[in-house]
A and B are shown apart, each in its own frame.
Chain A
Amino acid sequence: MISVNSVTKRFGERVAVNNVSFTVETGEIMGFLGPNGAGKTTTMRIITGYMPPTEGSVRVNDMDVFEHPYEVKRIIGYMPEHPPLYLEMTVKEYLRFAAELRGLRGQRIKEAIDRVVELCGISHVFNRLVGNLSKGYRQRVGLAQALVHDPEVLVLDEPTVGLDPRQIVEIRQLIKDLGKDKTVILSTHILQEVTTICDSVTIINNGKVVASDKIENLSRRFAEKLSILIRVRRPEVIDIDKIRAIEGVENVQWSDEKSLRVYLSADVDIRERLAGEIFSMSAGLLEFRTETPGLEDIFIKVVTEELNVT
């Protein structure tokens, strides 16, 4: 479990992270979102003990990161945005070094390396120099390094950058599997990644948390924007006023010449009535689709709202 409590980080005058709080439970994968320079990497560095916060505290499995740095670092696996690789080492030497740094000894090192090599699919580059590997493989070695000591907590900073589509699917599946019994924080720019593998999401902007919740809760919260898209063959026969008159319809707009977007005001389910109405107009219904706000809409909404406020 990770709990970040009112963490603030200042670099001179600049406030990189401003009073950030959130919690990630064991067995939960949290997506950490935000525009570039929002303070994601700084927050992750504070959680992993790389740098101390100016104010606030971070607890990992009920231990304070700065009171028990060694105990906490032992159970955290961190994969920074740029994998921290020694290019002059072979993959084998590198993973051995990473395992020893985390305090593994003897036979356990070999077992740990065998396990992560298998997990991350790097067995055929095992004896090659890290410096000669492609970006995708370096990324995987970086992930293997974070997993070698089988940490209870994983902090991954954009782990799928630079991977090809097939590798992305594999790594996402791997993270999803790992997330079943570990605490995972995953920072990414790819919103689809969050929707497919994360349980909850925290959106940060200008160093402040602007939204932090389970993904379905967030969708529900932004559901007042719920709308229905209707495509018809004969738009000329549509009587917009009639549709507007239906209870629960807030607004109706043409989104293009053959498509109509109906904005709904509340949770009243008017799909049946609406469909019936269109049908009775004999407009030639081609498509009838409920549009729930995707994470992308939520992200853009909270980030731009924040911008408007500041």
Chain B
Amino acid sequence: MKQFWPLFKKELRTYFTSPIFYIVGAVFLALTGYFFINSIINYSRMGIQLSGSGNPIENFNPTTVVMKPLFNTMGTIFILLTPLITMRLMAEEKKARTMELLMTSPVSITAIVAAKYLAAWIIYSIVILSTLYMPFVINYYSSVVWTQIFTGYLGVLLLGASMMAVGLFCSSLTDKQIIAAVLTIGILVIFWFIGGVLGSASEELTRIMRGLSLFAHFDALTDGLFDLRDIVYLLSFSIVALFITHRVIDMSRWKG
């Protein structure tokens, strides 16, 4: 991990001095804000309707009805926003030939990968955690199940860890940001929907596909289920993607 800090500081500074971070943040907050208000209105309407029916519905509380769908929305929005954060990470270094500076300095590839990855994930986390006002607003007027809020956010942050790793990997494959972006979206869409579209296939296959799906593991966490297997899956997904990224960068040295 030689020279991790200077690289990490540089990456973070690049995010904060470029407009992309602010644009991603603004778009994300606007979208989630819209869905948040929508869910709240929906929740109160359903509340009024249900109060007349006399049949209590299981799990009818703001955490499940408002926050859980919002966590899903956050994940879905970030399928599209992830490349905006990650596409330049390696592609730009190659395009601007600054890779030559990094690779001829006493810097390890591990440090380069780790610094870029962590910086991207921190940017992602800042954007995600800026929605923390939502549970507090709900809690002010009603009440939330804080443990579920916690596992929900943990799920979103771990999902982001996987998404950033995929983005960084795609960025290491090319010197064109747009190609990195399209690849990232492609891979994320596959891993997001892989578990959901196989209803007609055999049960065994569906089970395997669900096991591979990012969404399935993330979904369990937003339900408030703290299962170590989901956490291990999301973490190992990231580590594998980062390992491949390391190999790709190392191999590109041989090709010149």
A interface residues (Cβ-Cβ under 8 A, vs B): 11, 16, 42, 45, 48-52, 69-71, 73-74, 76, 78, 80, 82, 84-88, 93, 97-98, 100-103, 145
Contact = CB atoms under 8 A, between A and B. Distances in A.
Contacts, number: 71
A100 B10 CA distance: 10
Given A49-B103, A50-B100, A50-B104, A100 B6 contact: yes
A70 B18 CA distance: 32
B59 interface: no
A70 B96 contact: no
Contacts of A69: 106
A50 B253 contact: yes
B106 A74 contact: yes
Contact of A52 (B6, B105, B254): B254
Interface of B: 2-3, 5-7, 10, 13-14, 17-18, 96-108, 253-256
Contacts of A88: 14, 17-18
Contacts of B107: 73, 101
B21 to A, nearest CB: 13
Contacts of A145: 101
B3 A45 contact: no
Nearest to A99: B6
B-side interface mostly: helix
B103 A85 contact: no
A42 B100 CA distance: 12
A274 B105 CA distance: 60
Contact of B104 (A52, A76, A85, A100): A76
A97 B93 CA distance: 14
8 contacts: A16-B256, A45-B256, A50-B100, A84-B101, A85-B98, A88-B14, A97-B6, A100-B6
Contacts of A50: 100, 103-104, 253
A145 B102 CA distance: 12
A102 B253 contact: no
B10 A97 contact: yes
B90 to A, nearest CB: 14
A78 B256 contact: no
A223 B105 CA distance: 43
A80 B70 CA distance: 49
A305 B180 CA distance: 47
A49 B96 CA distance: 19
Contacts of B102: 101
A-side interface mostly: mixed
A86 B7 CA distance: 13
Given A87-B96, A101-B7, 4 more contacts: A73-B107, A84-B100, A98-B105, A100-B6
Contacts of A70: 2, 106, 108
Contacts of B18: 88
Rank and list the top 4 A-B pairs by shortest CB-CB distance, nearest first: A100-B6, A84-B101, A70-B106, A101-B105
Nearest to B17: A88
A97 B7 CA distance: 8
A150 B7 CA distance: 21
A101 B101 contact: yes
Nearest to A98: B101
Nearest to A104: B6
A86 B102 CA distance: 12
Contacts of A49: 103-104
Contacts of B7: 101
A73 B106 CA distance: 5
Contacts of A42: 256
A101 B2 CA distance: 9
A257 B220 CA distance: 96
Nearest to A69: B106
Contact of A51 (B3, B13, B256): B256
Nearest to A11: B256
A78 B100 CA distance: 9
A102 B106 contact: yes
Given A101-B105, A103-B106, A82 B97 contact: yes
Contacts of B101: 84, 98, 101, 145
Contacts of B17: 88
Nearest to A101: B105
Contact of B96 (A76, A84, A98, A102): A84
A51 B99 CA distance: 12
A63 B237 CA distance: 39
A48 B106 CA distance: 11
